[in-house]
Amino acid sequence: MSQKNRILSGMRPTGPLHLGNLLGALANWVNMQDEYDCYFFIADWHALTSDYENTSAIEQNRKEIILDWLSAGLTPEKSTLFVQSLVKEHAELFLLLSMITPVPWLERNPTYKELIGELNNKDLSTFGFLGYPVLQAADIIIYRPYGVPVGVDQAPHVEITREIARRFNHFYGDVFPEPELILTETPKILGLDRRKMSKSYGNAIFLSDSPEEISKKVSRMITDPQRAKRSDPGNPDVCNVYDFHKLYTDPHTVEEIDEQCRNAGIGCVECKQKMAQGLIKALAPIREKRAYYEQRPELVEEIMVEGSNKARTIACETMEVVRAAVKIKN
């Protein structure tokens, strides 16, 4: 029997997933399902690190993300899909790792420094927020995976994870392999307003959007800002709509659009409509699967519970080894 390498990754349940999430993470995960033994989980405890004051949305977001995952093509037949808070062993390992993690490692973490600066409307001077990467390290190494597929923004966290694993091994013996960073490509598309696509900017196209919503949103998209009038020639190279075309329209038509845009042979309204058609068509299989799973909430719940049970079995095995290594009673 050929043994596939295990990989693991997670997402915080901060809201419904959009095209940026699909292209940046989820589509990669879906594609990795055949090559790897995949573990994907919802990091609901991590959602608390910044949203501890108002936790009311976490449960609903968790449900939405599961639907997004299954709609996009993650399947329990190939992957283990689970919920962090259903595997309490993550918390035990987090505690043990917190004992050996030097605080300066965490204070140096670029993500930490960035977010503290960005989210200045929230009080993030908490122990939990500083310890975010320690919990993430526990999430990862408890499954002793070969690697962690993440976007470049998460690279510092994987690096800290490797350092913590090394330090643990140094004190207590070889327990944890250092997980590889598997960098996934980040999408080339922007939000409707040409800023980074993000739920909080209100510029996102969600996987759960209906064809009508998609059409409406696409018609709002900012195109080549220099092209003011229909009779002005445009420049597809600086146009976000054109970047979408490259992903969702057949190559022959994309070439035509390139040419017609440059000599004002096509207007942006028509161009956007064409793109919306392609996008709506590309997302059709996702909408179909969503309709299927939306009708079956018990099945969806069962998938996550069974996945969590399977994950817990592995986590428990690791913790036996860990407790023995640390010489804390099993």
Applying CB under 6 A, the span of 9-17, 105-113, 114-122, 238-246 interacting with ligand SF4 comes to 238-246
Chain residues in the site for ligand TRP (CB under 6 A): 8-12, 43, 46, 136, 139-140, 148, 150, 154, 157
Q: How far apart are CA 204 and CA 200, in angstroms?
A: 9
Q: How far apart are CA 89 and CA 1, in angstroms?
A: 30
Applying CB under 6 A, the span of 21-29, 203-211, 232-240, 280-288 interacting with ligand SF4 comes to 232-240
Applying CB under 6 A, the span of 21-29, 82-90, 184-192, 223-231 interacting with ligand SF4 comes to 223-231
Strands, DSSP E only, in the chain?
6-11, 37-42, 79-83, 147-150, 180-183
| Structure tokens, 256 | 């035509």
Chosen from ligand SF4, ligand TRP, none, partner binding at 241 (C-beta under 5 to 8 Å by type): ligand SF4
Applying CB under 6 A, the span of 3-11, 17-25, 116-124, 266-274 interacting with ligand SF4 comes to 266-274
Decide: is 254 part of the binding site for ligand SF4 (CB under 6 A). Answer: no
Q: Which amino acid is at 302?
A: E
Q: How far apart are CA 161 and CA 150, in angstroms?
A: 13
Query: Between residues 5 and 273, which has the closer beta carbon with respect to ligand SF4?
Result: 273
* In the complex, minimum distance from the CB of residue 147 to ligand TRP, in angstroms, rounded to a whole number: 10
Applying CB under 6 A, the span of 1-9, 95-103, 237-245, 280-288 interacting with ligand SF4 comes to 237-245
Chosen from ligand SF4, ligand TRP, none, partner binding at 224 (C-beta under 5 to 8 Å by type): ligand SF4
Query: Between residues 162 and 272, which has the closer beta carbon with respect to ligand TRP?
Result: 162
Decide: is 272 part of the binding site for ligand SF4 (CB under 6 A). Answer: yes
Q: How far apart are CA 129 and CA 49, in angstroms?
A: 5
Chain centroid, CA 284 distance in Å? 21
Chosen from ligand TRP, ligand SF4, none, partner binding at 150 (C-beta under 5 to 8 Å by type): ligand TRP
Query: Between residues 62 and 227, which has the closer beta carbon with respect to ligand SF4?
Result: 227
x/- contact string, 173-212, with ligand SF4 (CB under 6 A)? ----------------------------------------
Chosen from ligand TRP, ligand SF4, none, partner binding at 139 (C-beta under 5 to 8 Å by type): ligand TRP
Query: Environment class of residue 199 by beta-carbon count within 10 Å: exposed (0-12), middle (13-18) or buried (19+)?
Result: middle
| Count of helix runs (H) and strand runs (E) in the chain | 16, 5
Q: How far apart are CA 239 and CA 221, in angstroms?
A: 10
Question: To which residue do tokens 């330090």 refer?
Answer: 167
Nearest to 315 by CA among 47, 41, 78: 41
Q: In what order do the strands lie in the sheet with 6-11?
A: 79-83, 37-42, 6-11, 147-150, 180-183
Residues forming the site for ligand SF4 (CB under 6 A):
223-224, 227, 234, 236, 239, 241-242, 257, 261, 266, 268, 271-272
